[in-house]
Structure 1
Amino acid sequence: MTSVLIALKIIPMIFAALFPVVNPIGTALVLYGMTREVDDQTWKSTSRKIALFSFLFLAFFFFFGSYILKLFGISIPVVQFSGGVVLAMMGWQLLNQAETSQPASKESIQEYDSLIDTKVFYPFTFPITIGPGGLAVVLTFSAHLDRGTRLVVTLEQGAAMVGIFLMCVVVSICYRHLHKMTKRFSPASALAISKIMAFFVLCIGVEIAVAGFKALGPL
């Protein structure tokens, strides 16, 4: 019974740790700048795929991430630094993305919808939804739980999966209702919000890269 209670504490812990770094609401607004031309039905399907890929991605790194890093001799600070650079570059591209005031044709929208499928994992899932911060969280939790009896570890791993799953459910809900939410804004306001969020993505990427660089210590 005590082991179960200990494991149950992991669910809110990992959810609370992931929520600020995943930031599903803010990230949804960032994605708006990349998916404005996608029809609602296609976007709903895409949002479910992003949530599923996010869960599988986090679960994979939770169980096997530490082994992969050891195999290639990579430390978590290196992941933070390189991932932060990638995220900052993504934010810079979004910030400087050219806009068009002409309405998209039906053919171009259909072509855009088919192109969306190629972007579900990169960049929508990684690094926009699950960036280096999310990977650092699950890797840290994985290392912390790798101790105690086998029963306790198994229960804690199961609880961690529940916490990650709940986080991805929130991601799916926020993303699914993105276009409905942004319809409350004028096109100019929604564009301004997406640009502001892109700037924050750039800043977050730089912050993560700097933190990773500092954690590397003297080279």
Structure 2
Amino acid sequence: MEFDFALVLKTALLAIGALLPITNPPGAAPVFMRFTSGLEEPLRVAMARSVAMNCFFLLVASAFVGVYVLAYFGISLSVVRVGGGLLVAATAWRMLTADEGSDDAQKPAPRRVSPEKIRGHAFYPLAFPLIVGPGSIATAITIGTTLPRHDVAAIWAGIGLVLGLAGVALAIYLANRYAPRLMRLLGDTGTAVFLQLMAFILLCIGVQIVWDGVSELLKPWRPGH
């Protein structure tokens, strides 16, 4: 069985090129900082690692078995977009309406968090739906359906896809791991403004995802269809 380097590289680059702009690790880093505010540095690093791992496993599951799971439950990608968009919008709304009025809220005291709680927050809402949302899941499923299904090519394409998804997860980890440096460059006021701006953009993204999903669901009832 000869190693097909070209196919592995092509599939890996396809996954990275398609998913990196959607997951947008630098854009998600300020949101990560909001949710990890007050954590000691080792806990924040552990959270960043857990978020990246959860994103990786979500993308792998979506790419390889997502289409079968949706078919089994009779769920369309349009419904996934609507549900995921509502989750994104709800999370962004909580961020926008969070109490930031006191100094304690701006600079919370270091707090201790159990490993179980870190794992829970690292999956929801940080990994899903903030970073790996409906768009990422739909894209990963689409990439998975384009892979060869038979012969040796399926093995090399699968390996390339896993490597590409690992590269996306690494970018997510690095962006979250070094997010405090970006926050220090912005300063307290700049950070507060940037976080609110990102929360508003996230809210708009959630609404747009919902609109796209609803539009697809209503397409059969439009005139001319």
Matches within 5 A, 1:92-111: 92-99=93-100, 100-102=102-104, 103-105=107-109, 109-110=111-112
Deviations 1:75-109 (A, max 9, x none): 11111121111111111111111123125345xx2
* Contact 1:24 1:171 (8 Å CA) reproduced: yes
| Counterpart Cα distance in 2 of 1:33 and 1:55 | 22
Extract unaligned runs of 5+ from structure 2: none
Show the counterpart of 2:159. 158
In 1, the alpha carbon distance for the partners of 2:108 and 2:193 equals: 20
Alignment partner of 2:103: what SS?
coil
Q: Distance in 1 between matches of 2:191 and 2:59?
A: 30
1:57–1:111 Cα change, 3 Å: closer
Contact 2:7 2:160 in 1 (8 A): no
The equivalences for 1:40-119 within 5 A come to 40-99=41-100, 100-102=102-104, 103-105=107-109, 109-110=111-112, 115-119=117-121
Give the Å deviation of 1:110.
Answer: 2.2
Is residue 37–residue 112 contact of structure 1 (8 Å, CA) maintained in 2?
A: no
Alpha carbons 2:80, 2:134 under 8 Å: kept: yes
Match of 1:9, SS state, is: helix
Measure the CA separation in 1 of the matches of 2:108 and 2:82: 38
Q: Does the CA-based 8 Å contact 2:31-2:198 persist in structure 1?
A: yes
* 1:42-66: CA deviation from partner (whole Å, max 9, x where unpaired): 1011101111111111111211111
**In structure 1, distance between residues paired with 2:25 and 2:109:** 30
Secondary structure of 1:67's aligned partner:
helix
Length, aligned pairs only: 216
Aligned counterpart, 1:205? 206
Bigger drift between 95-104 and 45-54 goes to 95-104
> TM-score normalized by structure 2?
0.88
Amino acid at match of 1:218: P
Q: Which residue of 2 aligns with 1:141?
A: 143
- Give distance in 1, aligned partners of 2:15 and 2:181: 29
Alpha-carbon distance in 1 for matches of 2:123, 2:76: 24
Structure 1 gaps of 5+ residues are none
TM-score, normalised relative to structure 1: 0.90
Q: Supply the AA of the counterpart residue of 1:101.
A: D
CA RMSD of superposed structures (Å): 2.1
Partner of 2:134: 132
Task: Note the C-alpha offset of 1:2.
Answer: 9.8
SS class of match (1:36): coil
The 1:185/1:51 distance shift into structure 2, 3 A limit, reads same
> Does the CA-based 8 Å contact 1:40-1:179 persist in structure 2?
no
Identity of aligned residues (%): 27
**Conservation of the 8 A alpha-carbon contact between 1:7 and 1:156:** yes
Distance in 2 of aligned mates of 1:111 and 1:74:
36
